[in-house]
Structure 1
Amino acid sequence: MTTSLTSPETTAIAASNRAAIIASPKVKLRRRRIVIEHPDTNTGEALLAEALGAADRDALHGLLSQLVKASVVARKPDQGNLAFMVSTLKSIAPRDSLESMLAAQMVSIQVATMRCACRLACTDDVQQQESLTRAMTRLSRTFAAQIEALNRHRSSGGCAITVQNLSVQDGGKAVVGNFTQHTNLIAAQPGFVDAAALPA
């Protein structure tokens, strides 16, 4: 199943760098080949590689090839699915190869989830409905886990903890200041403070 927009032009709705995404070329399928639409092939590849987070030409073509395979409908690559996948991948704005691969998996999972939803809506067979419901649940959970993984990767695995209330008993000691904690290191700015020295 393919759908087409009424307008031949589409714009990026949610993107961190709109100018780069809008300037990046479109990807089309022609005679089972991937064509990057840009007057200059090398510039088109460079712009698209930057928008998709691909490190080089080989990574770009490998990623596009995988997206083409994931876009298949009725055993044929689907231009509509491919355009959606590339556009969504651009809007995620991967910053490196890991984010690019994860984002490609995310858009592939999204397409598979919606295929299951379409099949579920079109079937009256109870066994098929149960099977498709289980598949959709698994795909949806995978997608949520991928979002968490992307967020963790982008935040470098750091988790901010803010202590708003601290009580120190008489004779106790507390460390006051800003802390930064890494896996094997805890760093603090000022030193120890005696509980008796704290204002009541």
Structure 2
Amino acid sequence: MNTAPDLAMSTAIAATDQTKAAAAPRIKLLSHGFSIDHPDPEIGEQLMANALGAADRESMDGILRQLVRASVSGGSPDEVNVSFMISMVKSIRPRDSVEAMLVAQMVSVHVMAMRCAHHLANAEDLARHDSAARALGRLTRTFPTQIEALNRYRSHGEPAITVQNVSVGDGGKAIVGNVTQHASVIVSDKRPASAARKARKAAGSKRGTDSADARREAEA
């Protein structure tokens, strides 16, 4: 007896396989360093490079070593921390070497900030409390600065422009509020409007002069 294939099941299996293939492999810490935990070393390196936004094997290896060192907890690298950091880098999706370095710094700063928060919560004396609080404050101020730098780099350095006052002509429409965008902005020239006001004023003055002349002629 022939049965029709379950298309929904096939699609689900295919999607699961694609997810596994695209997922970044884990790092296995060794006594002499670390290795990429994947059954196929070549595919594992390619997946890791894609996750980190690394252009080649050397840059991937360098960023991985830096992340491993930044993951240190209790005097030795922490495998769970490394996996978390790689996952966060992958989720931000660095697109080139500059973004790869910046995102690695962002993730490292976050991990250090959380470590300082832990020290602050468990400080046993005032000196340790103040030290952890100062370090946490500096790190939490650094993180949004890094986010801003990444956004600015991704927008090719175009400054944000805020438009607050907008003149609207007859039949036009206006947006009430501030409008901010990272793009080229066309700035309207206010001189034509000024010229129009002057023209209307001159026309009104001329009409007043004509009326006065007409009254004088009538009286004569």
Q: Tell me which residue corresponds to 1:23.
A: 23
More strand by share: 1
Q: Tell me which residue corresponds to 1:57.
A: 57
1:180 aligned to which of 173, 176, 184: 184
CA–CA distance in 2 between the matches of 1:19 and 1:141? 35
Q: CA deviation at 1:21?
A: 8.6
Q: Tell me which residue corresponds to 2:80.
A: 80
TM-score scaled to structure 2, two decimals? 0.66
Q: Which has the larger radius of gyration?
A: 2
Letter in 1 for 2:33: R
Aligned residue-pair number? 166
CA–CA distance in 2 between the matches of 1:191 and 1:124? 65
Alignment of 1:10-159 (within 5 A): 22-159=22-159
CA–CA distance in 1 between the matches of 2:21 and 2:149? 23
> 5+ residue gaps in structure 1?
1-17, 169-178, 182-187
CA–CA distance in 2 between the matches of 1:134 and 1:191? 50
Q: Secondary structure at the match of 1:152?
A: helix
Q: Secondary structure at the match of 1:29?
A: strand
Q: CA deviation at 1:39?
A: 2.2
* Identical columns (%): 49
Name which structure has the greater RCO, CA cutoff 8 Å, separation 6+. Answer: 1
Q: CA deviation at 1:20?
A: 8.9
RMSD: 3.1
Q: CA deviation at 1:149?
A: 0.6
- 1:142-200 superposed Cα distances (whole Å, 9 cap, x missing partner): 111111111111111113536461279xxxxxxxxxx936xxxxxx69999843679x9
> 5+ residue gaps in structure 2?
1-17, 170-182, 201-220
More helix by share: 2
- 1:46-99 superposed Cα distances (whole Å, 9 cap, x missing partner): 121112100100000000011111111122111111111111111111111111
Q: Secondary structure at the match of 2:159?
A: coil
